[in-house]
Structure 1
Amino acid sequence: MGRVVVVTGAGQGLGRAHAHAFAAEGYDVVVNDVAAAADAVAAEITAAGGSAIASAGDVADWDYAAALVATAVERFGDLHVLVNNAGIVRDRMLVGMGEREWDEVLRVDLKGHFCPLRHAAAHWRAQAKAGRPVSGRIVNTSSGAGLLGSVGQGNYSAAKAGVLGLTIVAAAELGRYGVTVNALAPAARTPMTEAVFAHMRAVEGAEFDAMAPENVSPLVVWLGSAEAGGVTGRVFEVEGGRIGLADGWRSGPRRERGRRWKVAEAGKAVIDLVAEAEPPPPVYGAG
């Protein structure tokens, strides 16, 4: 039996590219998206000689997420890789953003990562407790907006920063069961970003489209492989032909008192610390 992967939001963009890339490496692929899109990608993979089935549903729905994992196991005999890719945007400046726009993005982009992750993790924990070897892989999808923030995307930035927090906690908790958890911050032209990246084509030669979503997929496939067992809790920035490792929050300069700070003293300490520290990278779209 080969390796089995579930890719969420695989009806277009990055998810579609990932699904095709896994199929090309011999994986059995469960393609999640809305019905028509999932069916189309599964049909494309099958027509190309690969193995795929479609599963239409809402990954932020608890029961459907459980059924998605069960579908992989029942149809292909197991689950080895979960690629959490589904996401939406509802861009608006914070002063004009409504509750619905906030809730929709947090639900799909963050809860839609947690629900499949939770049910896949339960499957792998049960295998480990039964004494069976586990080579589980989870690849989450964050964004530069999650790393740095993005003007007009407060909801999306918060959700994608939440994905990073979820990733490092899941990596710490699930390692004992043989599961790795990593995240991507990709830059690529997709239906969500095509207006931003439409002009960025063939920057390294006529045959290379630096913003094509297919450029991200080789790293995703490798992170899903059995060989990637030593890499977990990491965040990778991927764009064109570039792969980089993103470091998270780290403690910077500090001041110490052996007593409670006075207000004026705290203020001076802040001014000194800010002067000593490296300035933070700018928020996307600021200035």
Structure 2
Amino acid sequence: MDIGRLRALRELSIRKTMAAVAEALHVSPSAVSQQISLLEDEVGIRLVERRGRGVVMTPAGYQLVQRAERILIEVEAAKADIAELKSVVSGELRVAAFPSVAAAVIPEVVFDLAQRYPHLTIQFDEMEPAESVAALRSWQTDVAIIDDLNMPPGALDPNFETIFLMEDVFNVMVPNEHRLSGQPTVSLGELRDERWAIDTASDTYTKMLVEACQDVGFKPNIVSRCKGFEVTVALIRKGYGISIVPGLRASNDLDDVWVCRVVPEIRRRIFIAFRREEKRSPALQAFLARMAEKPPLS
């Protein structure tokens, strides 16, 4: 059976629509449909059934997906074996990371690796943790940098291995003219009457923030929901709101704002995740070694 067709079927079992699979595999929906039709012709049985705008697996399709999962794992393991025998750091390594850790860590790491290994290309994609784990599961990335805020223990595929990278401590961010500016720490309760501007890229972050405020007796007055840190900090600079942001965000050079620790302290742990069978890959080993050399700011 053609590996590409099996991969398309497996993606379809996860993503449910031809359009979503096409986007993930960087092909057209018609190409995905053709791959599935060719696979059905090859095995002589229906593998998918249309339901509305999506599809579901038939019993035969579901069974073949389970087999395909093991086949694809073995294929990736074989690639890692060959790469290990070559002992050459080359080819392409795909890395996915969420914005705050990406901005603080990725540029220096990929630049250093490019200097050391001119035959290695790092392909970087900015993704929230849940998205990067899905990409790792579907072989759309080789490395996912995640945190335990978005991916709690037990949420990861048993075929994944994780390595602890760092802890990140959240901070209060207020305008320089704010009444709390200059304080070394700010208690969460002192922010009960403030207007809040938050980055809503991660639903889990919003939920964590609201629950932390409720734990000390108030619900945050969220007046700005932003899809990126740039808008959030711009609103804070102008005095329209305050926020709690990851320490990695606050490690950047920021003008016209005051940043300090919040009490009680809020932390998250950050990990590097990858498929267990590929750990011996020279490219992955080079990346892991470089990440371990100089711990990021926390």
TM-score scaled by structure 2? 0.24
What is the TM-score with the length of structure 1 in the denominator? 0.24
More strand, by proportion: 2
Higher relative contact order (CA 8 A, sep 6+): 2
